[in-house]
């Protein structure tokens, strides 16, 4: 009996020791203190002693020590208070339709709801608001929210897709507080500016920066933009860029971002100068649409192939590919093979520059055009007309040269389209390949979805420009293309047909 009791006692001791060892190992493994193993009633009670804490009640400097910065701070605040009430938030809603084809060639139309958000600025007491065209493009419903939170519906007045400007009007008889459109020709590189908008729908925000550069280009339509380091985040599109007196000197339009899927500000933003905005606003208010000059000429950039064919060695200029019969260019005497070297006494840098100058010309204005023709400079005079929709030529009315050009394009076998406003807003440039024709030279080289950035080292901004360059190049040589495919840059060569 005693032996059995001793065995049980020893077994209990072994169990307790084993239990304590396992508990201690778990406590150590969890990083806890071994003191926690002692029962609380056996521990010595701890008394909490308040720490000595003496905060500073004196600022590091007095306002009199930083008087200039203090005044500047107050002035920034006053500027913000004066500008922000005229900046609005824009919410849009619409329906996007898409035509789909099934395996058997049957068409099906599907509709998708779309929503958008951006910024705008009030420019009249009647409630006219300027924003970007891409903010409201294709949207049926437009809603304006003011700084105080009051919301209104709005109606489209007119739009200028090329400049990326739209004018809408608040549906109300109230009187609103507008901002003045300043003189963008007085803007200097380095001057302080403020970008105001409604990024991410959080409410009005103001960012400060400087004008980093002028005469920046995103495309042949958007030229001479202001570049600024004032943060322009998604949602700032359409908001104003203002100077120190609260005048609008630009309308924020785009940012530069390497990540096109998730664009974010990287210190490079662009704004449309106010003088161009004012002119577009004036035309839209008066006639409901923009008015642009028209010369009626097809142009080519001076890449090595074109220079070699023409024998032209100068740096600047744009080559004439063809003129439209009866258009101002044809009446003035421009011919295929001419190089336009100056327009209204301004040196023509390239084709995009010439297009920009023509579009900004006054309707009915006589313009001096200096051209290089087979080694000689010739002064011509053209009377600018208003641009309308491009004429459509039937197969019968095409001349021999036009039919030859079309045949070259068919043999190359690539179809492209212009980029959408949304794609341009994300920083994309060039043209997008939509189709490769069977038996064409592009088969096996290009793929639908490829983004063509340049042709023979000349950047491409539109489908018309791409085809004109391709015709001139493919007729005499292989064509070098800079392509972006699934985010990867490629250099491809199309053989001459």
224 among known catalytic residues: no
> Does residue 134 have an active-site annotation?
yes
- As given in the structure block, the two tokens for residue 192 are 């302080």
Burial class (CB in 10 A: 0-12, 13-18, 19+), 145: middle
- Tokens 């009633």 correspond to 41
- The active-site residue out of 237, 318, 463, 473 is 237
> What's the rounded Cα separation, in Å, for the pair 258 and 484?
13
- Taking the C-alpha atoms of residue 38 and residue 239, their distance in angstroms, rounded to an integer, is 67
* Residue 185 annotated to the active site: no
Catalytic residue among 89, 128, 160, 164: 164
Count other Cβ atoms within 10 Å, centred on residue 449: 11
Record the tokens describing residue 59, joined without a space. 């600022």
Catalytic residues: 134, 164, 237
């Amino acid at each position: 009996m005693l032996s059995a009791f001793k065995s049980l006692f020893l077994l209990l001791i072994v169990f307790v020791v084993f239990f304590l060892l396992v508990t201690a190992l778990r406590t150590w493994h969890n990083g806890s203190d071994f003191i926690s193993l002692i029962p609380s009633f056996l521990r010595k009670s701890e008394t909490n002693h308040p720490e000595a804490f003496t905060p500073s009640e004196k600022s590091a400097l007095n306002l009199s020590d930083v008087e200039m910065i203090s005044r500047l701070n107050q002035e920034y605040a006053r500027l913000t208070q004066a500008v922000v009430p005229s900046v609005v938030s824009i919410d849009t809603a619409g329906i996007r339709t898409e035509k789909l084809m099934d395996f058997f060639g049957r068409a099906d139309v599907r509709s998708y709801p779309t929503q958008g958000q951006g910024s705008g600025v009030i420019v009249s007491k009647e409630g006219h608001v300027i924003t970007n065209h891409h903010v409201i493009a294709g949207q049926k419903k437009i809603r304006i929210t003011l700084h105080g939170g009051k919301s209104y519906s709005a109606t489209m007045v007119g739009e200028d897709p090329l400049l990326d400007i739209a004018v809408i009007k608040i549906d109300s008889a109230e009187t609103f507080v507008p901002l003045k459109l300043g003189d963008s020709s007085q803007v200097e590189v380095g001057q302080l500016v403020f970008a105001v908008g409604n990024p991410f729908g959080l409410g009005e925000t103001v960012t400060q920066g400087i004008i980093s550069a002028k005469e920046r280009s995103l495309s042949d339509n958007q030229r001479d933009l202001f570049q600024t380091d004032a943060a322009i985040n998604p949602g700032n599109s359409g908001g104003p860029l203002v100077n120190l007196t609260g005048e609008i000197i630009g309308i924020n339009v785009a940012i530069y971002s390497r990540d096109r899927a998730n664009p974010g500000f990287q210190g490079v933003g662009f704004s449309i100068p106010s003088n161009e905005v004012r002119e577009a606003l004036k035309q839209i208010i008066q006639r409901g649409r923009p008015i642009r000059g028209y010369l009626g000429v097809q142009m080519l950039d001076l890449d090595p192939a074109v220079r070699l064919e023409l024998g032209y060695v100068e740096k600047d200029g744009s080559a004439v590919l063809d003129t439209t019969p009866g258009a101002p260019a044809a009446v003035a005497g421009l011919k295929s093979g001419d190089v336009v070297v100056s327009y209204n006494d301004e040196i023509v840098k390239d084709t995009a520059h010439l297009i920009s100058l023509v579009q900004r010309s006054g309707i009915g204005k006589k313009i001096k055009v200096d051209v290089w023709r087979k080694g000689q400079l010739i002064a011509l005079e053209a009377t600018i007309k208003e641009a309308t929709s491009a004429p459509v030529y039937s197969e019968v009315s095409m001349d021999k040269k036009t039919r030859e050009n079309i045949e070259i394009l068919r043999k190359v076998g690539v179809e492209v389209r212009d980029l959408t406003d949304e794609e341009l807003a994300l920083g994309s440039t060039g043209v997008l390949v939509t189709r490769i024709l069977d038996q064409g030279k592009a088969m096996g080289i290009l793929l639908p979805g490829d983004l063509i950035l340049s042709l023979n080292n000349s950047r491409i901004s539109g489908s018309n420009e791409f085809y004109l360059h391709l015709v001139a190049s493919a007729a005499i040589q292989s064509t070098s293309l800079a392509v972006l495919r699934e985010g990867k840059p490629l250099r491809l060569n199309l053989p001459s047909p």
